[in-house]
Amino acid sequence: MIFAAGLGTRLKPLTDRIPKALLPLAGKTLLEWQIERLKAAGIQDIVVNVHHLGEQIVTYLKEHDNFGCRIRISDESDMLLETGGGLLKAAALLGEDEPVLVCNVDILSNIDLKLLIAAVESRKSKVESQELATVVVSNRETQRYLLFSGEGVLRGWMNRKTGEYKPQEAAHEDLVPMAFSGMQIVSPAFFGELRKVQAEKGDKFSLIDAYLSVVARKAGTIRAYVPRYYRMMDVGKIDQLEEAERFAKNLDACLE
């Protein structure tokens, strides 16, 4: 699934007329970059969620014959649901019997998705069924971090700027801070956890909310995946577009 429903407010005024997913970089839109990466990993069934100027995304995909994939639209025109709510709304389109790879449309990286998928697959027969998600993380500098045990199991979250921790006891544990990279593979069982968060918070909530709910209730394991030689860029601000253009042009050359 590709999250493409965001408002793109930090990319105004460009996103006043086109959705962030259709911003061009190095001759391709952000959406095309993501679809190509999924196709290269052997993924043909894709769900794209839409909200802001979503009709443009629908038209764009039709005009490009869905880039040879089976693409369905999860329509959030009525309300933007954030990442957790958006994934849950798309459940009927995704199905809940196989793991789902989920990524943000505005994050470019050199991650080899085949290696990520293989790592998750290799753990299926070795771990308990309570492993609910594998999240891609890195040691890049940011303000908000996921906190992991030495074994790579999620234990909490922190905001380095404000000093906030979730849960609060994580502040007193010896944990490893890692930056979330907007990509994860979630298990079928994770959708049940999303419904529990929905019952508590309503339809609109983030995946981080869901991960921390799992941690708080000790309902399962959220595991870190740290790619080797990882390079990524969040195409989030208008003053970053020139740098993002250079990054995109060199993307194929810097694969893992």
Mean pLDDT across 140-169: 95
Q: What is the dihedral of CA 234, 15, 20, 255, to 10 degrees?
A: -40
Q: What is the pLDDT of residue 255?
A: 45
Alpha helices in the chain (DSSP H): 30-40, 54-63, 82-89, 91-94, 113-124, 190-201, 207-217, 241-249
CATH code for the structural domain at 2-254: 3.90.550.10
Q: Looking at the predicted structure, is the pLDDT value of residue 93 above 50?
A: yes
Q: What is the pLDDT of residue 236?
A: 78
Q: Which residue has the higher pLDDT, 22 or 244?
A: 22
Mean pLDDT across 63-89: 97
Q: What is the rounded CA–CA span in Å between residue 102 and residue 211?
A: 14
Mean pLDDT across 189-198: 97
Q: Please write the tens of the pLDDT for every residue from 21-66.
A: 999 998 999 999 999 999 999 999 999 999 999 999 999 999 999 9
Q: Which of 4-8, 50-54, 104-108, 180-184 has the lowest mean pLDDT?
A: 4-8
Q: What is the rounded CA–CA span in Å between residue 93 and residue 91?
A: 5
Q: Is the full-model pTM beyond 0.85? A: yes
The full set of domain ranges for the chain reads 2-254
* pLDDT classification of 256: cutoffs 50, 70, 90: very low
CA distances from residue 63 to 66, 140, 154, 245 in whole angstroms, order as listed: 8, 37, 42, 24
Closest CA to 40 of 32, 48, 50: 32
3-state secondary structure of 7: coil
Q: What is the pLDDT of residue 245?
A: 87
Mean pLDDT across 182-206: 97
* pLDDT classification of 238: cutoffs 50, 70, 90: confident
Q: Which of 133-137, 156-160, 221-225, 240-244 has the lowest mean pLDDT?
A: 240-244
Q: With contact defined as beta carbons under 8 Å apart, do 107 and 240 qualify?
A: no
Mean pLDDT across 121-126: 78
